[in-house]
Amino acid sequence: MTTALIADLEWRDLISQTTDREALLKDLNAGPVSFYLGFDPTAPSIHVGNLVVLLVMRRFQLAGHKPIPLVGGATGLIGDPSGRNEERSLNSTDIVSEWVSRIRGQLEKFLDFTSPANAAVLANNLDWTSPLSALEFLRDVGKHFSVNQMLAKDSVSSRLESGGISYTEFSYQVLQGFDYLELFRRHNCILQLGGSDQWGNIIAGLDLIRKVEGGSAHALTIPLMTKSDGSKFGKTATGTVWLDPEMTSPYAFYQFWLNSDDRDVPKYLKVFSFKSHEEISRLIETVETNPGAREAHRELAREVTTLVHGADECARVEAAAKALFGQGELSELDEATLASALSQLPQTTLQAGEPIPAWIDLLVATGVVDSKSAARRIVKEGGGYLNNVKISGDDFTPSESDFLHGRFIVLRKGKRDLAAVERVI
């Protein structure tokens, strides 16, 4: 089973580095292994970049191993320097504590915490860090770390080259190493997963386990996700793609995957899909042979949205996407889903009691066209729609009954250019 797991991760290009590969396979094959992955609460939610490593954790649990998702109530107060050119702004203890609770709730959606054989165990490094005094920490943990080795870590050396690093963030690797030692002691945890930028921090923990306990453990890192166009994965024009539906709506989440660059879809399917190799390969082939059909994009969007937000929410956003383009009834969409979908479009607002402008004026106000003459030309050519109904004349003015849920009107130019009008009540 474990050999198949590692082979599967390699097929999906999900292994960047490991310590002794043969020793790792031997321990994994000897029986269920406790392993951990850390999540620092630097925001109220985890994002799709975190999902890359979280789903590797899920794959390990499905193969029979015991996951320990660690939410860094302590390290979240410090800040990881990895991948950053400047110091983080430190958050208050109360804010970090609130974010710890929110992220814990998210992790419970992806891991099984009830299995009698290998139930996941939630951990918080504040539990073993806060009882220690500064002197105890320096004597019992800090003395095992070589400053020369710490300076050589990529996360530190790059910061020194770019202007410097505070002692606070410099000490982050000591705290993460201490986490691995404590989980080794408490849960016989012998494997840490992490992004490839965490290699140095993980190795620090392995060294600490060897020096303090005379034990051995393993590291496995996952490549950082990149996009073919060079932009950062998980970022859109409107910002980070979060897993929290209040921060990134399920509709926007679905659209993120649906609108993926053709060049990225094969990679995303391998990383995020739990379909068989055969089905993933078939979908990848459709990207190459029939890209216009976008079958792979839809399957990717459907699977990941269902995984994160549930099947019912995925069905609602798919219905909204179809209805916006005339393939379903806009009036049948619930208000929250419609509001979420329209929030992604160019739009204009009307104040309560304000006279309703003509269709052409509304379209110009959204910015979809830059002049009334252009809007009139669209209507004349038969390409103007209101709530998916074709506009018959350029003097058409919407009525009160055209406002969906008393708030929204959907404008369309041609087949695909959409805009929205919202009445502010």
Q: Is the pLDDT of residue 394 over 80?
A: yes
What per-residue confidence (pLDDT) applies to 1?
56
CA angle 385, 342, 46 (to 5 degrees): 155
Residue 256 lies in a domain: yes
- The CATH number for 383's domain is 3.10.290.10
Among 403, 406, 381, 401, which residue's Cα sits nearest to residue 391? 381
Domain identity same for 66 and 117: yes
Residue 12 lies in a domain: yes
Q: Is the pLDDT of residue 114 over 90?
A: yes
Distance from C-alpha of 246 to C-alpha of 96, rounded to nearest angstrom: 18
Q: Where does a domain end: 165, 194, 222?
A: 222
Under 8 Å between Cβ of 100 and 44: no
Domain identity same for 275 and 388: no
Query: Strand 417-424 relative to strand 347-351: parallel, antiparallel, unpaired?
Result: parallel
DSSP assignment, residue 143? G
By the 10 Å C-beta count (0-12 exposed, 13-18 middle, 19+ buried), 379 is classed as buried
Among 7, 108, 14, which residue's Cα sits nearest to residue 67? 108
Domain identity same for 178 and 316: no
Which uninterrupted H or E stretch holds 422?
strand 417-424
Residue 418 lies in a domain: yes
pLDDT band at 237 (very low <50, low <70, confident <90, very high): confident
What per-residue confidence (pLDDT) applies to 327?
86
Distance from C-alpha of 261 to C-alpha of 296, rounded to nearest angstrom: 11
Q: Where does a domain end: 161, 195, 222?
A: 222
Determine what percent of the chain is predicted with pLDDT higher than 90: 73
Adjacent-strand bridge partners of 189: 34
The domain tally of the chain equals 3
Structural domain range at position 252: 226-328
pTM value? 0.89
Domain identity same for 312 and 366: no
Q: Is the pLDDT of residue 342 over 80?
A: yes
Q: Is the pLDDT of residue 229 over 60?
A: yes
Across the range 109-117, mean pLDDT stands at 93
What per-residue confidence (pLDDT) applies to 146?
82
380 compared with 159, residue with greater pLDDT: 380
Domain identity same for 115 and 213: yes
Domain identity same for 77 and 214: yes
Domain identity same for 238 and 250: yes
Determine what percent of the chain is predicted with pLDDT higher than 70: 99
Domain identity same for 302 and 359: no
Domain identity same for 10 and 100: yes
Distance from C-alpha of 3 to C-alpha of 24, rounded to nearest angstrom: 10
Domain identity same for 128 and 212: yes
pLDDT tens digits, residue range 120-156?
A: 999 999 999 999 999 999 999 989 988 888 787 777 8
pLDDT tens digits, residue range 249-279?
A: 999 999 999 999 999 999 999 999 999 999 9
pLDDT band at 231 (very low <50, low <70, confident <90, very high): confident
**H helical segments located in 162-294:** 167-170, 172-187, 199-213, 250-258, 265-272, 277-289
Domain identity same for 107 and 249: no
Residue 339 lies in a domain: no
Across the range 401-423, mean pLDDT stands at 93
- The CATH number for 301's domain is 1.10.240.10
Backbone torsion region of residue 392, taken as left when φ is above 0, otherwise alpha when ψ lies between -120 and 50, otherwise beta = alpha
Mean pLDDT of the chain: 91
Q: Where does a domain end: 172, 191, 222?
A: 222
pLDDT tens digits, residue range 14-49?
A: 999 999 899 999 999 998 999 999 999 989 999 999
Distance from C-alpha of 412 to C-alpha of 50, rounded to nearest angstrom: 36
pLDDT band at 411 (very low <50, low <70, confident <90, very high): very high
**What radius of gyration do the chain's Cα atoms show?**
26
DSSP assignment, residue 88? P
Residue 336 lies in a domain: no
pLDDT band at 83 (very low <50, low <70, confident <90, very high): low
Which uninterrupted H or E stretch holds 390?
strand 389-390
Across the range 400-411, mean pLDDT stands at 94
Under 8 Å between Cβ of 409 and 386: yes
Backbone torsion region of residue 162, taken as left when φ is above 0, otherwise alpha when ψ lies between -120 and 50, otherwise beta = alpha
Distance from C-alpha of 124 to C-alpha of 100, rounded to nearest angstrom: 8
Q: How far does the chain reach from its first CA to its final CA, in angstroms?
A: 58
Domain identity same for 208 and 292: no
Among 71, 74, 78, 75, which residue's Cα sits nearest to residue 50? 71
- The CATH number for 42's domain is 3.40.50.620
